[in-house]
Structure 1
Amino acid sequence: MASYKKTFKHTLAAKKELNHVKQKLANTDHSFNSLYTLKNDIKVLDKLIGGRSLNPIHVQQKILDFISKTDLIINIVSIEDVHVFADKEFLIYSNQIEIEGTYEALIKLLYETEKNFKDSRVVSSEFYSKKNYRTNKQTLYLKIILQNYEKAK
């Protein structure tokens, strides 16, 4: 009993502590690997979201050029000035354009813009109509908001 209290008890406690530390060390190695993987994923996403820092005015001109090159019968009613929002990580540029046309032409334009326009992303679209009381006709409009991002410096 005396030898157990003097030697074996401490040896077993040290062995238990050693196993516990080894387990924590293995978890730490796994955490470093996970952290490295997450950092690489964040870098890839940053490049995708904010990698291309085009001048916002050029993006707006490219939007107009893209829309005008379609063979659809539509009218551009208005285009707002570029709206800039900044946070700690990104600068967000928003472009808003309002277009008039038939439902088929507007929906095709929206589809083509989402699918093929790579310099900015469609984040919102809204169809609405207005009635002209003089001619007693309904006119259909499409408002599209496009955004592109730039990594803050």
Structure 2
Amino acid sequence: MASYKKTFKHTLAAKKELNQVKQKLASTDNSFNNLYALKNDIKALDKLIGGRSLSPIHVQQKILDFISKKDITLNIVSIEDVHIYRDEEFLIYSNQIELEGSYEALIKLLYEIEKNFKDSRVVSSEFYSKKNYRTNKQTLFLKIILQNYEKAK
């Protein structure tokens, strides 16, 4: 009993503590590997998101060209100036366009823009209607906000 209290007890406690330290060390090594992998993933995503460096005016012209080639039954009501927002890491260019037409034509164009227009992404779309009191008709509108990103320098 005396030898257990003087030697074995301390040896067993040291062995237990050594196992705990080894587990923490192994998880720390794994954390560094995970951190390295995450940093590489972030770099790849940054390159993918901010990789295009088209001028904002050029993107706006491409949007108008894309819309005009898709459907001639739609009317472009307004297109806002390009809004530029600077973040610590990115420049964000926002284009806003307002269209008028039938529901089928507007929804078809929205789908085409989301699927096939690669220079900018749709971040918001809103359908709304206005009544023309002179003709007593409802007119359907679609407001689309598109954004593209560029890596800040």
Same fold, TM-score > 0.5, yes or no: yes
Counterpart of 2:141 in structure 1 is: 141
Counterpart of 2:27 in structure 1 is: 27
* Alignment deviations for residues 97-129 of structure 1 (CA, whole Å, 9 cap, x no partner): 011111111111111001100010001111111
- Could you tell me the percent identity over the aligned residues? 88
Over the aligned positions, Cα root-mean-square deviation in angstroms equals: 1.7
- 2:73 is the counterpart of 1:61: no
How far apart are the structure 2 equivalents of 1:129 and 1:16?
72
Map of 1:120-131 to 2, 5 A cutoff?
A: 120-131=120-131
Question: What residue ranges of structure 2 are gaps of 5+ in the alignment?
Answer: none
Question: What residue ranges of structure 1 are gaps of 5+ in the alignment?
Answer: none
Does the Cα contact within 8 Å between 2:71 and 2:105 map onto a contact in 1?
A: no
Task: Report the TM-score, using the length of structure 2 for normalisation.
Answer: 0.90
Does the Cα contact within 8 Å between 1:72 and 1:105 map onto a contact in 2?
A: no
Which letter maps to 1:109? L
Task: Report the TM-score, using the length of structure 1 for normalisation.
Answer: 0.90
* Alignment deviations for residues 46-93 of structure 1 (CA, whole Å, 9 cap, x no partner): 122212122111111110111111134111111000011122222111
Does the Cα contact within 8 Å between 2:71 and 2:109 map onto a contact in 1?
A: no
- Aligned pair count? 153
Counterpart of 2:97 in structure 1 is: 97
Does the Cα contact within 8 Å between 2:73 and 2:105 map onto a contact in 1?
A: yes
Once the 2 structures are TM-superposed, how far is the Cα of residue 137 of structure 1 from its aligned partner?
Answer: 2.0
The ranges of structure 1 where at least 4 consecutive aligned residues each deviate by more than 6 angstroms after the TM superposition are: none
**Helix, strand or coil at the partner of 2:45:** helix
